Amino acid sequence: MNYRRDPSVSEWDSAHFGVRIATFGPTEERGVTHAVSWAQANEIALLMARCPASRTDLTLSLAKEGFTMMDTFVRYKLDLLAHPEIQAKPGGAAREACQADASEISQLAGEVFANYIGHFHNDPRLPGDTCTDLYAQWARNAFTDTKLARAVLIGVDNARSSWFALLKDHGDGIGEIVLGGVAPEARGQGYYSTLMLHCLMWFQAHNFAIVEIDTQLPNLGIQRVWQRLGFEIFYAGHTFHKWLPV
């Protein structure tokens, strides 16, 4: 997701990592300088920024202020109204998860996103285990916070869940697959395509028109799956980190 223009404290990230963390999404060069001054005044330890990859001026301004690029991400979307033929492959069973599944899905998320190439894991000053646990906690919290997910889907054709996905409702007919993946031992068997098809069927059944999803630029394999399903890229952005003395 993109960050709001004005800097603000990320309470959840701050509590998780044990340092004050703030985010902002600059739209002009002077906004970068303002955000750094604000962070210094508010005793922020880690200031994170996101900007469009097309805005070279903002990228250079962030670098000039001491920010380090931590990832490049891409966003795709699919027009469901133009793809009414979506159906899951035979043998790929799935269901909506319930509160009783929270611990298993949290553990699965931790396994899926261990050593992920996102901006948290790419920052050498953030402990890797703590970064991985962020995704586990995100998945667990999705069972109690509807702002994180409207539904959680899981693959159920093995002794344990082979995959999971968090589905979010942005309103106005727009949905998003905000987090998901395939268990390490189940990879290479076509489960990711099954995951995507079940998610799209869920969104269709609940009358969504558009589905969005994002990933890191080097994650080429899943982008090829999206493209085969009809997704089109519509945005690319960079994430930056700046550590400040506190």
CA 217 to CA 39: how far, in whole Å? 29
Do residues 72 and 237 make contact, with C-beta atoms less than 8 angstroms apart? yes
The answer on pLDDT for 2 being more than 80 is: no
Question: pTM here?
Answer: 0.94
Structural domain spans, the chain: 8-73+239-243, 77-236
The answer on pLDDT for 89 being more than 90 is: no
CATH of domain 77-236: 3.40.630.30
pLDDT at position 158 is: 66
Q: Which helix (H) or strand (E) holds 202?
A: helix 191-205
The answer on pLDDT for 40 being more than 90 is: yes
pLDDT tens, residue by residue, 8-39: 999 999 999 999 999 999 999 999 999 999 99
pLDDT at position 101 is: 95
Token pair, residue 76, equals 């795709």
Q: Which helix (H) or strand (E) holds 179?
A: strand 174-182
Local structure of 51: helix, strand or coil: strand
pLDDT tens, residue by residue, 161-214: 899 999 999 999 999 999 999 999 989 988 999 999 999 999 999 999 999 999
pLDDT tens, residue by residue, 90-138: 567 899 999 999 999 999 999 999 989 999 999 999 999 999 999 999 9
- Three-class SS string for 54-84? CCHHHHHHHHHCCCEEEEEEEEEEEEHHHCC
